[in-house]
């Protein structure tokens, strides 16, 4: 690395202004390179200086400075920021197969363009910035369908270098578009290359990726439950640090809603989780779900036990979780009301049956 590039890096890391960096870069014109252009381009794009970034790209083109993968990646990022997603796609598609680092830039699909859109100028006219516009959900779906049709080849080394959040986004979109097997393959490949020890932040994000696979799919009933459970057990076994949390259990219980014995099965699943993972996997949210399923099945004993535990949980919530307590209070009252109505129907039916028995004896 030459002294010019070292100085440029030092100034960027020390927070030098973009204007000063441009002056410095232009002053040493003979030392400019693809790498130095990329450094300033990355800063300009990060600061949403689209005009400056476009001028730098034009200068590279005019001076015959080579556009490497990093340059193309930055150009794609700039165009996506400007709302010119399809223009960026056409530029890269013309190069042949889109490489993974560039493909990933197309994942950054904002709900609203982070900068105003650049209108392509006619000959002799200056570029015009248009107001930012909302991107409709149908456009997001169409874009990701196109991305999945052109998904680049990926190996464990590339996955290891990929930010966990990016893996999460890819898996989420794949499942949303019903690419279930590719989503399973990428998740498996990513989990298997994780280091032996991971921090809590990475663990939580990995758990969120697992939860994506547990969301409702094309299956219903007990088959959906057993698929979700098998998938969960497979993923939990891929790393020694993986442990479920209450959300994991809540999502698993969700698959039992259409089962005839939903309350009984839910109670069994909770007890199994508690035995294996401890009571930390059970919270008010889980108790509410089991109580709701038990009421649906007509298991008054399970529902009463859950509501009793939930009532105790409500009283130990501290003042810092006031809003959460308000939500749990409402849920508890609704479930308690359903349970009381079920009890009254049972008592009414029992009383009517007792009255009919003597009548039958008289006749």
Same domain membership, residue 268 and residue 252: yes
**Cα–Cα distance between 158 and 190 in angstroms, integer?**
9
Same domain membership, residue 255 and residue 272: yes
**Cα–Cα distance between 7 and 65 in angstroms, integer?**
20
pLDDT at 263: 94
Same domain membership, residue 206 and residue 288: no
pLDDT confidence bin for 320, thresholds 50/70/90:
very low
Burial of 90 (0-12, 13-18, 19+ CB in 10 A): exposed
Range of 187's domain? 154-243
Residue 143 belongs to some domain of the structure: no
Residue 41 belongs to some domain of the structure: no
pLDDT at 316: 55
**Range with the lowest mean pLDDT among 77-81, 140-144, 168-172, 237-241?**
140-144
Same domain membership, residue 266 and residue 330: yes
pLDDT at 204: 96
Residue 259 belongs to some domain of the structure: yes
User: What's the average model confidence in pLDDT over 304-331?
Assistant: 64
For the four alpha carbons of 71, 73, 78 and 79, in that order, the dihedral sign comes to positive
Last residue of a domain, one of 220, 243, 266: 243
Token code pair at residue 164: 């966990």
pLDDT exceeds 90 at position 341: no
Same domain membership, residue 238 and residue 183: yes
Beta bridge partners of 130: 117
Token code pair at residue 47: 């600061």
**Cα–Cα distance between 31 and 25 in angstroms, integer?**
8
User: What's the average model confidence in pLDDT over 225-252?
Assistant: 95
Same domain membership, residue 268 and residue 203: no
Same domain membership, residue 303 and residue 207: no
pLDDT digits (tens, 9 = 90+) for 155-196: 888 888 888 999 999 999 999 989 999 999 999 999 999 999
pLDDT digits (tens, 9 = 90+) for 115-150: 444 444 445 444 445 555 567 888 888 999 999 999
Entry field: residues in the chain: 363
Mind spelling out the 3-state secondary structure of the chain?
Answer: CCHHHHHHHHHHHCCCCHHHHHHHHHHCHHHCCHHHHHHHHHHHHHCCCHHHHHHHHHHHHHHCCCCCHHHHHHHHHHHHHCCCHHHHHHHHHCCCCCCHHHHHHCCCCCCECCCCEEECCCCCCCCEEECCCECCHHHHHHHHHHHHHCCCCCCHHHHHHCCHHHHHHHHHHHHHCCCHHHHHHHHHHHHHCCCCCCCHHHHHHHHHHHHHHCCCCCCCCHHHHHHHHHHHHHHHCCCCCCCCCHHHHHHHHHCCCCCCCHHHHHHHHHHHHHHHHCHHHCCHHHHHHHHHHHHHHCCHHHHHHHHHHHHHHHHHCCHHHHHHHHHHHHHHHHHHHHHHHHHHHHHHHHHHHHHHHHHHHHC
Number of domains in the chain: 2
Same domain membership, residue 260 and residue 195: no
Residue 108 belongs to some domain of the structure: no
**Cα–Cα distance between 262 and 74 in angstroms, integer?**
52
Q: Are 259 and 221 in contact (CB under 8 A)?
A: yes
Mean of the per-residue pLDDT values of the chain: 84
pLDDT confidence bin for 213, thresholds 50/70/90:
very high
Same domain membership, residue 262 and residue 314: yes
User: What's the average model confidence in pLDDT over 216-221?
Assistant: 69
Residue 101 belongs to some domain of the structure: no
Token code pair at residue 221: 């009933």
Beta bridge partners of 312: none
Same domain membership, residue 194 and residue 253: no
Burial of 149 (0-12, 13-18, 19+ CB in 10 A): exposed
Residue 95 belongs to some domain of the structure: no
Same domain membership, residue 256 and residue 210: no
Q: Which of 103-117, 297-311, 329-343 has the highest mean pLDDT?
A: 297-311
Angle between helices 262-277 and 300-316 (to 10 degrees): 50
Last residue of a domain, one of 189, 210, 243: 243
Residue 139 belongs to some domain of the structure: no
Residue 174 belongs to some domain of the structure: yes
Same domain membership, residue 268 and residue 228: no
Model pTM?
0.77
Last residue of a domain, one of 187, 208, 243: 243
């Amino acid at each position: 690395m030459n002294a010019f590039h070292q100085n440029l890096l030092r100034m960027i890391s020390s927070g030098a202004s973009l204007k000063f960096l441009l002056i410095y870069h232009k002053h040493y014109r003979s030392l400019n390179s693809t790498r130095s252009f990329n450094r300033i381009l990355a800063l300009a794009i990060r600061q949403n200086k689209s005009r400056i970034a476009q001028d730098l790209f034009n200068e590279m083109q005019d001076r015959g400075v080579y556009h490497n993968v990093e340059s193309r990646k930055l150009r794609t990022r700039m165009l996506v920021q400007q709302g010119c997603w399809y223009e960026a796609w056409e530029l890269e598609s013309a190069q042949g197969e889109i490489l993974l680092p560039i493909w990933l830039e197309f994942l950054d699909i904002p709900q609203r363009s982070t900068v105003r859109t650049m209108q392509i100028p006619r000959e002799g006219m200056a570029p015009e910035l248009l107001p930012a516009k909302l991107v409709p959900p149908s456009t997001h779906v169409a874009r990701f369908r196109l991305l999945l049709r052109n998904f680049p080849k990926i190996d464990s080394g590339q996955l290891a270098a990929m930010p966990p959040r990016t893996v999460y986004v890819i898996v989420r979109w794949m499942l949303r578009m019903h690419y279930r097997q590719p989503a399973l393959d990428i998740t498996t490949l990513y989990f298997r290359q994780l280091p032996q020890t991971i921090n809590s932040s990475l663990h939580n994000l990995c758990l969120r990726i697992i939860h994506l696979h547990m969301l409702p799919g094309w299956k219903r009933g007990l088959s959906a439950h057993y698929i979700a459970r098998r998938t969960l057990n497979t993923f939990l076994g891929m790393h020694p640090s993986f442990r479920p949390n209450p959300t994991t259990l809540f999502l698993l219980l969700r698959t039992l809603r259409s089962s005839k014995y939903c309350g009984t099965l839910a109670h069994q699943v909770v007890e199994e989780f508690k035995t294996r993972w401890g009571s930390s996997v059970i919270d008010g949210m889980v108790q509410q779900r089991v109580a709701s399923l038990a009421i649906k099945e007509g298991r008054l004993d399970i529902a009463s036990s859950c509501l009793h535990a939930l009532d105790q949980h409500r009283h130990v919530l501290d003042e810092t979780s006031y809003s959460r307590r308000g939500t749990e209070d409402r849920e508890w009252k609704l479930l308690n009301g359903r349970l009381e109505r079920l009890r009254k129907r049972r008592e009414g039916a029992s009383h009517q049956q007792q009255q009919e028995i003597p009548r039958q004896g008289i006749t």
